[in-house]
Amino acid sequence: MKLSSTGRVILGMLAVEPMSGYDIKALTDLSTRFFWAASYGQIYPELKKLAEGGLIEGTERPQGERRRTVYAITPAGRKELAAWLGEPELTHELRDEGLLKLFFAGVLGKGEIAAVLEDKRDAHLATLAQLREIEPMAASVERFGPHEVLGYGLALHEFAAEWCERQLNRLKES
């Protein structure tokens, strides 16, 4: 079975512990969404495909009157996840609307360009604040990965905010 990007996220989450689709979305929102987002509209259909492919198994665990299925990764799912983890990186894509705006900002005046740079800087500073809030949680995870990736995110957004500041100074000097 060829895994989708959402399927990879789900298998990775379920390799840590069994959880429901809601739990996967909540954990994604606290962790991978900073570099790889997944919506409910992606997660639930993918859970069905992974279950049909024998990579995960669902167990009904209702909470009160609410239907709830908790999924666990199967040995076949672990094998598929390990195979993907062993492949070279194929996708390295950066989608950054602020950079896209800056790319075309030459049609604007200095004040408007400065506003675009300030917005971009402020967005990176806001993300830094969010990442710093979750850093204690990531640091408490005993397995390799979450805290290290958080460190990457912190360094990346610190660099980007500083880069914006340098460009603002350069713009003012020109």
Q: Provide the residue ranges of all domains of the chain, joining segments of one domain with +.
A: 5-86, 97-173
CA distances, 111 to each of 66, 87, 169 (Å): 54, 46, 12
Q: What is the CATH number of domain 5-86?
A: 1.10.10.10
pLDDT, mean of residues 49-62: 95
Q: What is the pLDDT of residues 115-154, one digit of tens each?
A: 999 999 999 999 999 999 999 999 999 999 999 999 999 9
Residues in Cβ contact with 138 at an 8 Å cutoff, skipping those fewer than 6 apart: 31, 146, 147, 150
Q: What is the pLDDT of residue 33?
A: 86
Q: What is the pLDDT of residue 164?
A: 98
Q: What is the pLDDT of residue 65?
A: 85
pLDDT, mean of residues 44-51: 96
The DSSP call for residue 139 is H
Name the burial class of residue 120, with classes exposed (0-12), middle (13-18) and buried (19+) by CB atoms within 10 angstroms of its CB: buried
CA distances, 57 to each of 17, 67, 82, 154 (Å): 12, 16, 18, 35
Entry pTM: 0.79
Confidence of residue 96 (pLDDT cuts 50, 70, 90): confident
Q: What is the pLDDT of residues 4-35, one digit of tens each?
A: 989 999 999 999 999 999 999 999 998 998 88
DSSP structure string for 86-125: HSPP-------HHHHHHHHGGGS-HHHHHHHHHHHHHHHH
Q: What is the pLDDT of residue 90?
A: 79
Least confident of 32-46, 50-64, 88-102, 118-132: 88-102
* Residue 74 phi, psi (nearest 5): -95, 170
Q: What is the pLDDT of residue 75?
A: 97
Q: What is the pLDDT of residues 151-171, one digit of tens each?
A: 999 999 999 999 999 999 999
* Nearest CA-CA partner of 56 in 23, 80, 32, 33: 80
Q: What is the pLDDT of residue 44?
A: 95
Q: What is the pLDDT of residue 169?
A: 97
Helix %, strand %, coil % for the chain, to 5?
70, 10, 25
Q: What is the pLDDT of residue 21?
A: 95
Q: How wide is the angle at C-alpha 146 spanned by C-alphas 145 and 152, nearest 5°?
A: 90
